[in-house]
Structure 1
Amino acid sequence: MSGWTSERIGDLHGRVAVVTGANSGVGLEASVELARHGAHVVLACRNPQRGDEALGQVRVRVPGATVELRSLDLAALASVREFAADLLLDQPRIDILLNNAGVMAPSTRQVSADGHELQLATNHLGHFALTRLLLPALGAARVVTVSSPAHRMGRIAFDDLDSEQSYQPWRAYGQSKLANLLFTMQLQRFADRAGLDLLSVAAHPGWAATELVRNGPAGSGWIGRVMSAGSGLLGQPAAHGAWPLLYAATEPDVRGAEFFGPGSWGGWRGFPTRITAIDAAYDTDLAAALWQRSVELTGVTYA
């Protein structure tokens, strides 16, 4: 995959791709490239106004694109259920599910509509439920779940999963990103046991200069200023950050349970490559325990 860019994506005509968090950043850039190469792209966005703006951008940047906007709030399980039910009525087959939407390290603890810590709810539980609810249409699909180098600081705190006893922004974010990887690996095990052709893989964009960074921890405080400055110096464009996600979603040599990220600058930027997560991400017992807790918290059962 040396020097791989989105220009090398093959023909995607006839394929359907669903991208969560498609209104900005790497989600928007991935949507543009999927549409540019012929896929019908479903932009799954929480904010209607920003979703409309993203829809307009895709249509301007890719004349003739087949793209649509649908409302999805991953932090509200009722919204996830409604989105999935409505989409299945129109799309009996989905070829690519890009679980991209995320919240990064808000400075104070926030909760979802269902009462869960916001990062856990958006980054993990919402995607856990969405993937299951769309499973009837996934078939031989590629499910790409977006993690982060921050998974390395993650620990699954089963005794305080929702950070009710103690909230630390980066610890909670790291937990959610480790959860993304544990879900990726366990979903592939589930698919293998069930005899499904589905491929579950993970990717991360490195340090991409996106709104996720600008609107992250202490947005206007000193941490936010440092991160904004760092993005300017070290961050790569969102279009480049989307490359590992797009490689994972489209290339024929991808195998289940693989992890992709930038290959230079310590994984912060560069062309996509296969990478290895921390050992905990491959822990089958930990993955099974988180899977069961996620079933309990979402009420969504994989069977």
Structure 2
Amino acid sequence: MATWTTDDIPDQRGRLAIVTGATGGLGLETALALAGAGAEVVLAGRNPLKGDRAERMIRDRHPHAEVRFGLADLADLASIAAFGDRLLADGRPIDILVNNAGVMALPRRETTADGFERQFGVNYLSHFALTGRLLPLLTAGRARVVQLSSMAHHGGRIRLDDLNHAHGYRPWPVYQQSKLAMLMFAVELQRRSDAHGWGLTSVAAHPGVANTDLMSNGPGGLTGFGARLFLPLLTHSAAAGALPSLMAATLPDATPGGYYGPQALGEWRGPPGPARVDPAARDPEVARRLWSESERLTGVRYG
């Protein structure tokens, strides 16, 4: 395949897309490209002021874009439920769901409104709950569901005995677990869709190393002279980092249960294509147990 860009996104007119964390960074770039291709896009986020700015930015670039902000705090299951209920009340089938929002390697253990360790809660459990609540609309639209993972999933471990890392919190292993969980979620959702006839195409993507606030604001963030010197060599832009998610969301023949990421420098940067999956992400027994525990923790059951 030739280098894939936003010009290769098929016409999305008449389709409804939901993108979490869409008021900045990768999520905003993903929403911008989908809106530019004609999709109606809901920008799911927790900050209405940032949502308003994101809407205006997208309309500045695409004056006829159908885009709106939807309040959804991914650190609060009640907010996720309220967001889902509003969409369910509208009754519009969903064609694309991009579960993009996330936090990275918080230096100290923090918790969500529901008491979950924040990285695991925001990056994974929130998206598990949101996808489950929206399942009737996703099945009605025979949707493409995209989970944002990371190269960090390699070496990650699902601590089934302590998913919320109540003991021995370390920022990076906890982040690795959350991103491994997202990739396992994509694979397991496809298995269950096939088994139950939900008609979904479940895929995952990772951005490589994109120069966004998520990276620069993390512990040991790349700042100062070293960052100015090396970032252009090692990373790519948020727009480039969004391409694997866009490929996963719109490629007509995307592989069910597949994984997409950059193709250069060991998947750090470059044009999008198939990415390498750690064998741990394909462990069906761990995936089954993680799914069961996720239903218990969130109170959201897929039927």
Tell me if both proteins adopt one fold, taking TM over 0.5 as the criterion. yes
Residue 276 (structure 1) aligned with residue 273 (structure 2):
no
The two structures have a TM-score, normalised by structure 2, of: 0.96
CA contact 2:135–2:302 (8 Å) conserved in 1: no
CA distance in structure 2 between the partners assigned to 1:277 and 1:45 by the alignment = 29
Partner of 2:287: 287
Residue 129 (structure 1) aligned with residue 129 (structure 2):
yes
Partner of 2:55: 55
CA distance in structure 2 between the partners assigned to 1:202 and 1:149 by the alignment = 12
Q: Residue by residue, what CA displacement relative to the aligned partner does 1:184-211 show, whole Å, maximum 9, x if unpaired?
A: 1110011001112110000001011111
CA contact 1:19–1:27 (8 Å) conserved in 2: yes
Q: Secondary structure at the match of 1:267?
A: coil
CA distance in structure 2 between the partners assigned to 1:277 and 1:93 by the alignment = 31
Partner of 2:182: 180
CA distance in structure 1 between the partners assigned to 2:55 and 2:281 by the alignment = 35
Q: 1:240 to 1:131 in 2, by over 3 A?
A: same
CA distance in structure 2 between the partners assigned to 1:106 and 1:224 by the alignment = 17
Partner of 1:21: 21
User: How far is the alpha carbon of 1:69 from its aligned partner?
Assistant: 0.4
CA distance in structure 2 between the partners assigned to 1:5 and 1:158 by the alignment = 39
User: How far is the alpha carbon of 1:2 from its aligned partner?
Assistant: 2.7
Q: Secondary structure at the match of 2:154?
A: helix
Q: Residue by residue, what CA displacement relative to the aligned partner does 1:124-159 show, whole Å, maximum 9, x if unpaired?
A: 000000001001101210000000000013101122
Residue 231 (structure 1) aligned with residue 252 (structure 2):
no
Partner of 2:149: 147
Runs of 4+ in 1 over 2 A off after TM superposition: 223-233
Which amino acid in the other structure matches residue 173 of structure 2? R
CA distance in structure 1 between the partners assigned to 2:224 and 2:117 by the alignment = 25
User: How far is the alpha carbon of 1:91 from its aligned partner?
Assistant: 4.4
Partner of 1:198: 200
User: How far is the alpha carbon of 1:227 from its aligned partner?
Assistant: 8.7
C-alpha RMSD of matched pairs (Å): 1.4
CA distance in structure 1 between the partners assigned to 2:98 and 2:169 by the alignment = 28
Q: Residue by residue, what CA displacement relative to the aligned partner does 1:219-260 show, whole Å, maximum 9, x if unpaired?
A: 5xxx66699555343110111111110011001110210000
Which amino acid in the other structure matches residue 254 of structure 1? A
Tell me, which stretches of 5 or more residues in structure 1 are unaligned?
none
Matches within 5 A, 1:21-170: 21-139=21-139, 140-170=142-172
Partner of 1:6: 6
In the alignment of these two chains, the number of paired residues is 300
Q: 1:227 to 1:93 in 2, by over 3 A?
A: farther
User: How far is the alpha carbon of 1:173 from its aligned partner?
Assistant: 0.2
Residue 254 (structure 1) aligned with residue 234 (structure 2):
no
Which amino acid in the other structure matches residue 286 of structure 1? V
The two structures have a TM-score, normalised by structure 1, of: 0.96
Q: Residue by residue, what CA displacement relative to the aligned partner does 1:85-124 show, whole Å, maximum 9, x if unpaired?
A: 0012224200000000000001111100000100000010
Worse-superposed segment, 47-56 or 251-260: 47-56
Q: 1:209 to 1:89 in 2, by over 3 A?
A: same
CA distance in structure 2 between the partners assigned to 1:52 and 1:194 by the alignment = 39
Aligned partner of 2:218 among 197, 216, 219: 216
CA contact 1:213–1:228 (8 Å) conserved in 2: no
Q: Secondary structure at the match of 1:271?
A: strand
